[in-house]
Amino acid sequence: MALSATEAITSRRSIRAFTDEEVPDELLRTILTDAARAPSGTNIQPWNLIVLRGEARNDLVDAVQAAFDEGDKKSQENYYPTEFVEPYLARRRKIGWDLYGLLGIEKGDYDKMAAQHRKNYEFFGAPVGIFFTLHETMQSGGWMDLGLYMANVMTLAREHGLDTCPQAAWQEFGHVVHEHLELADDQQVIVGLALGYEDTAAVVNTLRTNRVPLEDFVEFRG
Ligand SMILES: Cc1cc2nc3c(=O)[nH]c(=O)nc-3n(C[C@H](O)[C@H](O)[C@H](O)COP(=O)(O)O)c2cc1C
C-alpha cells in the first residue's frame, strides 16, 4: 500500500547512512518526472538536475573528498546568514549536538566531527547523488521554486519506500563539483541530495528531530 501524502511527509527524515541497494532506473525517472508538477512562479521551472550513479558518482565523490582533505573549500555567500540570530542559532546548535551526541562525539573532538562531516561528500553511502543547479540569473523566487521541486522529490521518494538527505554541505565545494562535472558557466550549484534506501542498522539514523509547536510560527487572525 502506498503511503498517503501525510504519511510520506511525516515519515521523511534526513537519512545519513544508506545501503548500497540500487534504485531502479524507471522508479527514479518516475519520481523526478512527477516532482516536476511542482508549481513555479510564472511556470519557469528553473530547476536543473545532474543525477550521478555508479562510476560517475564515485569519481565525483573522490574529487570532492580530495578537496575536503586539502581544505579547498569556498562558501557561497548567499546561502546561510553571515550571523545566525535566535531562535535559529539555538535550533542549529541542538541538531548538531544531538547528532554528535548520538555518535559519541564529544565537544572539541574536531577530528571526529570532520570525519562525520566528510560523509556528506560520499552522499552518506547512497547509490544516487543528485545536484540541483540554477541559472546564475535566478533570484530568491527561483530558489523557492527549486525548494518546492526538491520537497516533492523527497515526499515521492518516501511514497516509493526510498529515503533522502538534502545536503547544503556540497555548496562549500560547489567550485569542485562545477569543474569536475564540466557544468555550463551560467549554472550555479545550489544543493545536493542523497537518495537510496535507509541502513536501518546505523545508529546515526536513530536521530529524531523536533519541531516547534504551531503557535510558535503561526499567527491566526480573525
Ligand atoms: C536545504 C537543506 C540542506 C541541508 N543540508 C544538510 C547537510 O548538508 N548535511 C546534513 O547532514 N543534513 C542536511 N540537512 C538536513 C537537516 O539537518 C534536517 O532537515 C533537519 O535537521 C531536520 O531533520 P529531518 O530532516 O530529519 O526532519 C539539510 C536540510 C535542508 C532542507
What CA–CA distance (Å, rounded) separates 6 from 159? 10
- Quote the cell numbers at residue 135: 541559472
Report the pLDDT value the prediction gives residue 76, as an integer from 0 to 100: 78
Which of 14, 193, 206 best tests ligand 1's pocket when mutated (most atoms within 8 Å of CB)? 14
Full-model pTM: 0.97
What is the Rg, in whole angstroms, of the alpha carbon atoms belonging to the chain?
Answer: 18
Whether cis (ω within 30° of 0) applies to the bond prior to 81 is no
Report the pLDDT value the prediction gives residue 26, as an integer from 0 to 100: 98
Q: For residues 142 and 43, is the Cβ–Cβ distance under 8 A?
A: no
Q: Ligand 1 centroid vs 91 CA: distance in angstroms?
A: 12
Question: Measured from the CB, is residue 205 less than 6 Å from ligand 1?
Answer: no
Q: Ligand 1 centroid vs 222 CA: distance in angstroms?
A: 35
Q: Ligand 1 centroid vs 203 CA: distance in angstroms?
A: 17
* Ligand 1: residue whose CA is nearest its atom 16: 14
* Ligand 1: residue whose CA is nearest its atom 18: 14
CATH of region 13-207: 3.40.109.10
What CA–CA distance (Å, rounded) separates 49 from 158? 19
**What ranges do the domains of the chain cover?**
13-207
Report the pLDDT value the prediction gives residue 2, as an integer from 0 to 100: 83
Report the pLDDT value the prediction gives residue 163, as an integer from 0 to 100: 98
DSSP 14: B
How would you write the pLDDT of the chain (222 residues) with one tens digit per residue?
A: 789 999 999 999 999 999 999 999 999 999 999 999 999 999 999 999 999 999 999 999 999 999 999 999 998 778 899 999 999 999 999 999 999 999 999 999 999 999 999 999 999 999 999 999 999 999 999 999 999 999 999 999 999 999 999 999 999 999 999 999 999 999 999 999 999 999 999 999 999 999 999 999 999 999
Q: Ligand 1 centroid vs 29 CA: distance in angstroms?
A: 24
What CA–CA distance (Å, rounded) separates 198 from 186? 35
Q: Ligand 1 centroid vs 17 CA: distance in angstroms?
A: 13
Question: Measured from the CB, is residue 120 less than 6 Å from ligand 1?
Answer: yes
What CA–CA distance (Å, rounded) separates 183 from 50? 9
Q: For residues 105 and 205, is the Cβ–Cβ distance under 8 A?
A: no
